[in-house]
Structure 1
Amino acid sequence: MKGGSKVVVEPHRHEGVFIAKGKEDALVTKNMVPGETVYNEKKISVQNEDGTKVEYRVWNPFRSKLASAILGGVDDVWIKPGAKVLYLGAASGTTVSHVSDIVGPTGVVYAVEFSHRSRRDLVNMAKKRTNVIPIIEDARHPAKYYQKFSVLVIHCVLSSALKYTSLRVCVEYAMHGMLLRLHFILSIVLAGNCCHANCIDSTVPAEAVFEGEVKKMVQEQLKPTEQVTLEPFERDHACVVGGYRMPKKQRVAA
């Protein structure tokens, strides 16, 4: 997609995310490091009325389940400018880089990754993105590295872990006093940032799998608030968003 006068960039309803409208519409984020790409994604340069230019990066929903969830209509991802985000299973940093764009210079992304193959790319990306703090540890064992955080308030936990242990990780963070209250975009046993039904039991209908996993979340004191399927970008995937120790709604006096 080329920029210029033929492309109009409009704010998405999720703060920090944008839609580039041209011959084909695309989800984009404002590039925190102009001129640089992370995974050979397309860039769009748009000229403002005052002559200044702003560069955006196309966010490929086939490469990022968070992007596909946004396009799928998820109500709230709890990630916005200035937010503190904990990303479990950050891999080489494809989605992390767009979260970095969204939270901007006043926010921070703590990106946890242990894989030898992925962490090199993640660390190299963080050298240019000052709001990304790579943590080279196993995300399943928060007690080993939670002291590395410089803040006690995390607005959102985003998980790319492939196994049910990501549920326990969120609860353990809270038990350590780091996360007195949080929102999450979590993979249950299902796959990627979100859930892959066929990763559990291919003989069970996806709807039954999702329902069973949500029940497990409730048992862990995690409160799911919405679920969005990720098709056509990911088959049999769903994104589950929710909270932990969320405040009860105040009753309105009659």
Structure 2
Amino acid sequence: MSKKRNNAKVNEFEGTFLADGKLCTKNMIPGKRVYDEFLYNSKHGELRSWDPRRSKPAAAIYKGLHHFPLKKGMKVLYLGVASGTTCSHFSDLVEKEGIIYGIEISDRVLREILTIAKERGNIVPILADARMPEEFPWIEDVDLVYADIAIKDQSEVLIRNCKKFLKPGGFAMIAIKSRSIDVTKRPTDVYKEERKKLEQFFNVTDFVTLEPHERDHGYFVLKRK
């Protein structure tokens, strides 16, 4: 896709922009795409479109999320980093002053992010099981934990990692895939049950569902009590 010139404007969340009506982040590596995103030249620098069909945080922002706590300089623990599509935008947002520790259980998938991590310098890919934070005890305390892990006990895994790594008053975000928890229940009922679990450790600061971008997903923004 060719680079476009655009009179982009700053969006409501730090480090995000709107260009041609598309959510964007400022490209840490100008001229370099991570997937098939659009690139825009603007007075803010080169911007990368953030596709809500490929990234759940982007879908949440498109759905009207009011609180998105990720900011420049933050230390982030990312559970389920996969091939790095979303992580690359997080990388743009925390910039060179921040760092992202990306946990992924599949070595095949993790290999896909190695080049991105080497180029950007603020992503640390880690081959480990997010359910077992004792496998990566050397990680420093972080400002934010993000979880995108389609397993039955996803809320419990988030809490387990936050107890170990999240600073007091720090933030967490989780994309709940209801069908991974219970296919027999309505997604709205699953979200209510997961909310009760999460509220034992966090204050819920925001919640949106992700349709039509992601089916049967709910997105929670949380603050550690």
> TM (normalized to structure 1)?
0.81
Q: 1:45 aligns with which of 23, 41, 52?
A: 41
Q: 3-state DSSP class of the match of 1:179?
A: strand
How has the CA–CA distance of structure 1 residues 177 and 27 changed in structure 2, closer, same or farther, with 3 Å as cutoff? closer
Within-5 A mapping of 1:18-97: 18-21=17-20, 25-46=21-42, 48=43, 54-97=45-88
Q: What whole-Å deviation, never above 9, does each CA across 1:37-65 have from its counterpart, x for those lacking one?
A: 1112221122x3xxxx8211111100000
Quick one: distance in 2 between partners of 1:233 and 1:173? 27
Whole-angstrom CA distance in 2 between matches of 1:72 and 1:104: 25
- Whether the aligned pair in 1 keeps the contact of 2:102 and 2:123 (CA below 8 Å) is yes
Q: CA deviation at 1:177?
A: 6.0
Q: Kindly indicate whether the alpha-carbon contact (under 8 Å) linking 1:174 and 1:180 is maintained by their aligned counterparts in 2.
A: no
Task: Give yes or no for the alignment of 1:119 onto 2:110.
Answer: yes
Within 5 Å, which residues of 2 pair with 1:111-150?
A: 111-147=102-138, 149=139
Question: Which residue is 1:250 aligned to?
Answer: none
Alpha-carbon offset, residue 122 of structure 1: 1.2
Rg: which structure is higher? Answer: 1
Q: Is the 8 A contact 1:114 1:137 kept in 2?
A: yes
Choose the corresponding residue for 2:210, options 230, 235, 246. Answer: 230
- 1:71 positional shift: 1.0
Paired with 2:165 and 2:93, the residues of 1 have a C-alpha distance of 26
RMSD: 1.9
State how far apart, in whole Å, the 2-side matches of 1:29 and 1:225 are: 23
| Identity within the alignment, % | 36
Residue 181 of structure 2: aligned partner: 200
Cα-to-partner distance string for 1:140-175 (whole Å, 9 max, x where unaligned) = 11112121x2x42x1211111112444333333344
CA–CA separation in structure 2 for the residues paired with 1:76 and 1:32:
23
Aligned-partner Cα distance in 2 for 1:206–1:87: 24
Is 2:220 the counterpart of 1:240? yes
Residues 44 and 160 of structure 1: CA distance in aligned 2, closer, same or farther (over 3 Å): same
1:101-151 CA-to-partner distances (Å, cap 9, x unmatched) read 01111111111112122111111110101111111211111112121x2x4
Question: Residue type of the partner of 2:197?
Answer: K
C-alpha separation between the residues in 2 aligned to 1:140 and 1:195?
15
Evaluate the alpha carbon distance shift between residue 68 and residue 144 of structure 1 in structure 2; reply closer, same or farther with a 3 A threshold: same
Q: Quick one: which of 184, 187, 195 aligns to 1:214?
A: 195
Shift of residue 239 of structure 1?
A: 0.4
Aligned to 1:190: none
TM-score of the aligned structures, taking structure 2 as reference length = 0.91
Q: 1:174 to 1:116 in 2, by over 3 A?
A: closer
Distance 1:115 1:11, change over 3 A: same
Distance (whole Å) between structure 2 residues aligned to residue 183 and residue 78 of structure 1: 7
Alpha-carbon distance in structure 2 between the residues aligned to 1:208 and 1:57: 36
- Structure with the higher fraction of residues in strand conformation: 2
Which of structure 1's runs of 4+ aligned residues deviate more than 4 A?
Answer: none
The whole-number CA distance in structure 1 between the counterparts of 2:126 and 2:119 is 16
Would you say 1:167 and 2:155 are equivalent positions? yes
Ranges in structure 2 where 5+ consecutive residues have no aligned partner: none
Structure 1 pair 45/200, CA: closer, same or farther in 2 (3 Å)? same
Is residue 13 of structure 2 the alignment partner of residue 14 of structure 1? yes
| Structure 1: runs of 5 or more not aligned | 187-193, 246-254
